[in-house]
Amino acid sequence: MNYPTRISTSGLTIYDRVRDDDSLFMPISDLENLLKRNLMGLNLDYPLRTRSKVLKSRICEILGYPVPKSFAKSHPRFPGQDFDTYIQKSDNLQIWNEEISPARRYVVIRVNEESSVTAVRVVTGEVLARLDTTGTLTKKYQAKSRAPVVNSELVTRSDSYGLVEKVRAFAKTPRTGVEHANFERFLPIVELFEKLSTLSGTRISDPGLDQERNRGGALHEAVCLALGMMARCDTGTCPDVVEQLLEIKLQTSPTIDLGLVSPDDESPLDDMPGIRHSDVRYAVFYGASDGERVQLQHLVLCAGKDFFKYFQRFEGKVLNAKLQIPLPADFFA
């Protein structure tokens, strides 16, 4: 059965939350494709409150949920599938009195001058935060080791129960959001540590501390080579090496920038049912730079769930305010 049929026969409402590994929870790519197919051309030329109700009612029908007599002021508006909706006639996305949640899904709907739907995009809060050009939207999570790192160390000795089997099963049921990933060779964390430890002593290019993206790209290439993989472009989303659920960090200074999602976050990963951010493996490489090359010295590898057993968390939070995010010209492309 497809998602709307399963949801319809479940008897659940949009306010009944389901686990991310439940057969009723739609991965972000499926949600986007379904809404895109069924919302295109919908006329929303109504006063604001009526427009909101018309849209939410139509989405309920599309997803297989009963349309409530009245919509509760919940956060998010669709708790059952963990998403909010925004109707955009302009390129300035405004979020009022609401924190951006990195893992929450945001359904952004483009309408034309006649208020008809012309495009639909579903993204996570993490993606929206990267579009903020003012620097006022977020504070990123940061951490540092509790003691000086003088040896390589495997902090997590085994992955979460059933993780290896779950991830390898994705090879038999490819998903839209990760269609290029080869999960057949997914390694248990002990084997991953063995392969990555061979990078000790490796020298990679150092374009400078202000070129973090390029520094990370050189490490990404070295990691893929050590794992016998073809290096792919780092998209800037977590995890860096999706085939191994691996997030990689290069440290020539103590402070680790973790981005918008805390490693121990229990929220689901996009398009990977049953897998959580806390299942991601973090490879933190410590090295020394001579200004031109970084020599990798030590590796600390752990699952996100154990990250703060080894590292000390700095304070980090998402700011709450009226948020205005300029959408790029190719956002709906």
The pLDDT, as a whole number, for residue 319 is 40
In a domain, 13, yes or no: yes
The pLDDT, as a whole number, for residue 290 is 85
pLDDT single digits (tens) 121-131:
999 988 887 78
* 32/175 same-domain check: no
In a domain, 331, yes or no: no
The pLDDT, as a whole number, for residue 163 is 94
pLDDT single digits (tens) 95-121:
775 667 778 899 999 999 999 999 999
In a domain, 197, yes or no: yes
The pLDDT, as a whole number, for residue 318 is 43
* 236/273 same-domain check: yes
DSSP 225-237: HHTT-------SS
In a domain, 332, yes or no: no
Question: Domain of 239?
Answer: 141-313
Region label for 134, one of left (φ > 0), alpha (ψ between -120 and 50) or beta (otherwise): alpha
Range among 119-123, 132-136, 137-141 rated most confident: 119-123
What total of structural domains would you count in the chain? 2
CA distance 250 to 285: 5
Mean pLDDT computed over 136-155: 83
* pLDDT of residue 31 exceeding 80: yes
Of 45, 44, 48, 47, the closest CA to residue 59 belongs to 44
Which of residues 115 and 333 earns the better pLDDT score?
115
* 44/186 same-domain check: no
pLDDT single digits (tens) 36-68:
999 999 999 998 889 999 999 999 999 999 999
* pLDDT of residue 19 exceeding 60: yes
pLDDT tier, 214 (very low <50, low <70, confident <90, very high otherwise): low
CA distance 302 to 310: 9
DSSP state of 204: E
In a domain, 128, yes or no: yes
* pLDDT of residue 260 exceeding 60: yes
